[in-house]
Amino acid sequence: MIEKLLTVDKKGLIDFTQQIIRIPSTSLQEEKVALVVAEKMRQVGFEDVTVDPLFNVVGYLRGEENDPELLFNGHIDTVPPGEMPNAYSGEIVDGSKYGFSGPVIEGRGACDMKGAVASMIYAGKAIRESGLRLKKTFVMTATTREEPALGEGIRYMFEEGGVRAKMAVSGEATNLQTHLGHRGKLELNVRVLGKTAHASNPGRGINAVYKMSELIQDLIENYKVPSHPVLGDCTFTIIDIAAGPGRLGPVTPDWCEIIIDRRYLPEESAASVQREIESFIARRKDQDPDLRVTVELVKDFVPFYCREDEPIVPIIRESRQAVLGDTGELSVWKFGIEGVFMKQVGIACAGFGPGSEEFAHTPEEHIPVKDLHISCQVYAEIIRRACGS
């Protein structure tokens, strides 16, 4: 039985989190932050630290058995700052304005997910400074190009770098609970065709915007999506719209297209969802002979689910209990994470991370300082339980 928690360098953890938040690192612009992360990993005792051509950072705590047992993953790219004020301040402020009692660190990437990356690295530091002898090897990975949801960075790390492990933890925000997966994400381009006419005489044309408006209303009122006992309700929403030829000439538009974001379940597929939407639209065509529509799949981020009986799940929960006194709840993410790509190469992945996903990509993004410290302690316990002698 583990009697005493490992000592975490809380000040160093906070300082490093602030440091990397202050480095802008939108997708495809991660080089500077990657080099800082790599240098910190070397400083705190990671071995064989490398930065690959896509700026993924990988480092090891070697055990007696060289093949990695446990992998930690976090991404170091962020979405653009958008309307977020002082997006790269890394400032510590009172968290009451976010409904949190205690200090928080503000900034783009704070909870998505530089705070978790810092906590994971400092968990490795705690292991090194404890003098604990590892039987099995631990690998820390900080990946790039995550936000476009194509897995370009992590897939390169697996395919070209050959990184592997038997089990993994994603540090994406979970509010310090254990997460088992998420729904998949599809993007479908739905294009309605009309007929141009002079805008002064619109009755001679077929306005594609009007046709699309009717279709959108029908989708909102009548398109039903399934539910899952663990992953929750599927959703759909429209995330983009365009029409043409455009306003440079007084012409009724002969095309209008939308992008539908549809979250889906493991028992569904991209093809089955596309057929479902095409069938829904076909019903409207029976009522409106002028309706001409095409549906094209443009993005598929598959769902994933980690079974509760995978060894990583009780390790996370027991580690949480050692730090917080209980195993916490099992839940799932609303957004997608790179556990998908870990599963594809045979690595069972579950999640535990600081912060709340509801603040990711928002102007209010922050990470509670308390969450940083707790997650770092839990990560250290996970390493000790999975890789210790």
CB contact at 8 A, 72 and 117: no
Distance CA(335)–CA(337), nearest Å, equals 7
CB contact at 8 A, 83 and 129: no
Where, residue-wise, is CATH 3.40.630.10 in the chain?
10-182+304-387
Q: In which element (H, E) is residue 272 found?
A: helix 270-287
CB contact at 8 A, 251 and 197: yes
Where, residue-wise, is CATH 3.30.70.360 in the chain?
184-301
CATH class of 184-301: alpha beta
Could you give the C-alpha distances from 224 to 79, 228, 239, 240, 359, in angstroms and in order? 31, 14, 18, 20, 28
Tell me the chain's radius of gyration from C-alpha atoms. 24
Is the domain defined by 10-182+304-387 classed in CATH 3.40.50.300?
A: no
Could you give the C-alpha distances from 32 to 37, 56, 336, in angstroms and in order? 9, 12, 26
Length of the chain in terms of residues written: 389
- pLDDT tens digits in sequence order for the chain, 389 residues long: 456 899 999 999 999 999 999 999 999 999 999 999 999 999 999 999 999 999 999 999 999 999 999 999 999 999 999 999 999 999 999 999 999 999 999 999 999 999 999 999 999 999 999 999 999 999 999 999 999 988 999 999 999 999 999 999 999 999 999 999 999 999 999 999 999 999 999 999 999 999 999 999 999 999 999 999 888 899 999 999 999 999 888 999 999 999 999 999 999 999 999 999 999 999 998 889 889 999 999 999 999 899 999 999 999 999 999 999 999 999 999 999 999 999 999 999 999 999 999 999 999 999 999 999 999 999 999 999 999 97
Measured in degrees and rounded to the nearest 5, phi and psi for residue 18 equal -60, -40
